[in-house]
Amino acid sequence: MTESYDVIVIGAGPAGYVAAIRCAQLGLHTAVIDDWLDAQGSPVLGGTCLNAGCIPSKALLDSSELYYRSLHECAEHGIRSDNVTIDIATMMARKQRVVGTLTKGIATLFQANDITWLKGHGCLLDNKRVRFTPHESGRNPETLDASNIILASGSQPVELDAAPLDGERIIDSTGALELPEIPQRLGVIGAGVIGLELGSVWRRLGAEVILLEAQDSFLPMVDEQISAAAFKQFTQQGLRIRLATRVVSTQLSAAEVRVHYVHGEDEQALTVDRLIVAVGRKPRSQNLFAPECNLLLDERGYVHVDEYCMTNLPGVYAVGDLVRGPMLAHKGAEEGVAVAESIAAGREISVHGNRIPSIVYTFPEIAWVGQTEQELRTLGNSIRTGMFPFAASGRAHAMEAPQGMAKIIADAETDQILGVHILGPWASELIAEAVLAMEFSASSEDIARTIHAHPTLSEALHEAALAVAGRAIHLGRRRMP
């Protein structure tokens, strides 16, 4: 007899496991099919984010920052740390403990919500059926029925023909989180979010890092004022970022990689010990569905969905990295919740795509929500901006982190906030206030009239709101409205 469910979710990353938990909370009989295996070949939940992305990278970023501060900044606090050493094996073991704690936590949540975890590969068939192929040897594939199916198979690193991966010298972002030693010379193809974060980890640990970026602008999705300041900060930290640089070929030897690239009219080369390919990610839509399903994809492999994450097939949804929009764990999770609630309520619920925060977890961090100044001016919008530097923040100075700024962009007539951009310490946490303000269609005046505790980093956002009207308190030049 064919097993039947109210909902089957294919994929257990943030989009999939959150969707499953919300479905179960709403009383829907739910199963999740996931094919992720850890380094020991054991099934684990959490997808790329928990196992080979968001969580392990942040664990290493924190470890590397502690090491760097111990070497270079503790003396300013009167803390002597002359004999600091680094044990990469211990650092990697800690990272894996963090990952293990969180993935086991999801398994516990599945048990608490009576979600069936099917360990193996899921493939969408026609008529709302799914073929489940178990990992266990000797078990035959099964066909499952569901009233609703949620596709959440996530994404995978984009490979580059000019730099084929060998898993040893030329690696992707996953391999960059597993290096057994600090490379003396590290090359990174791609100076986007992933390349910058990985480059920052190994630069803090002592590697010479060079990033080769094909685009001629740095972080083009970021507000230009913020990206220019960030470029200056990263360069001062020792990251060598070469823009408008296209890698054309690589040559491997036993101990190094020779990278050939074109910069302007010149063809150049450099030699590194390891090379990370971090040129983006693509949807993991291959082998996700049978051809007879007629599931609609776009030319880049994304599953086509409407604003409610519904595919062209009745009762079949797709969420997360598999569909349009930024490849962000929190975006996928919110889509998963919206789909679960749509299924349970019998009506469509959407996610506000223009209020999704984005973050680069470097130091200083970069965080933003809404539109950039250049986007708005290109569209012809009449805007006002307010900026406040962390160099004028008492808390930032107390933390030895006075780099960067907070910037608010508001409509010139209505004062409604259109975008908020932060480069500075804990920007990833500060941006939440801006997201909440925009969710409630707040004005810059609303933030300006809200009392912020002193001394805190959040005061930078408060002062930026005041600066929109030309009345920031802690800036040297004041203009009365």
**Catalytic center residues:** 454
The tokens describing 31, both together, are: 């199963």
CA 10 to chain centre: 21
- Rounded Cα distance between 162 and 476, Å, is 51
- Rounded Cα distance between 212 and 246, Å, is 7
Helix (H/G/I), strand (E/B), else coil: 118: strand
How far is CA 148 from each of CA 6, 9, 88, 128, 130, rounded to the nearest angstrom?
Answer: 6, 9, 46, 7, 11
Helix (H/G/I), strand (E/B), else coil: 229: helix
| Contact indicator for 277, 160 with CB cutoff of 8 Å | yes
- Rounded Cα distance between 429 and 58, Å, is 14
Amino acid in position 258: R
Cis status of the peptide bond prior to 425, with omega within 30 of 0 = no
- Residue labelled with tokens 């390919």: 277
CA 39 to chain centre: 22
Instruction: Tell me which DSSP letter residue 117 carries.
Output: E
Q: Is 217 exposed, middle or buried (0-12, 13-18, 19+ CB in 10 A)?
A: middle
Instruction: Tell me which DSSP letter residue 248 carries.
Output: E
Amino acid in position 461: L
Q: List own/partner pairs for 22-26 with CB under 8 A and 24 or more apart.
A: 22/336, 22/337, 22/340, 22/341, 23/340, 23/343, 23/344, 24/113, 24/114, 24/115, 25/113, 25/340, 26/340, 26/341, 26/343, 26/344
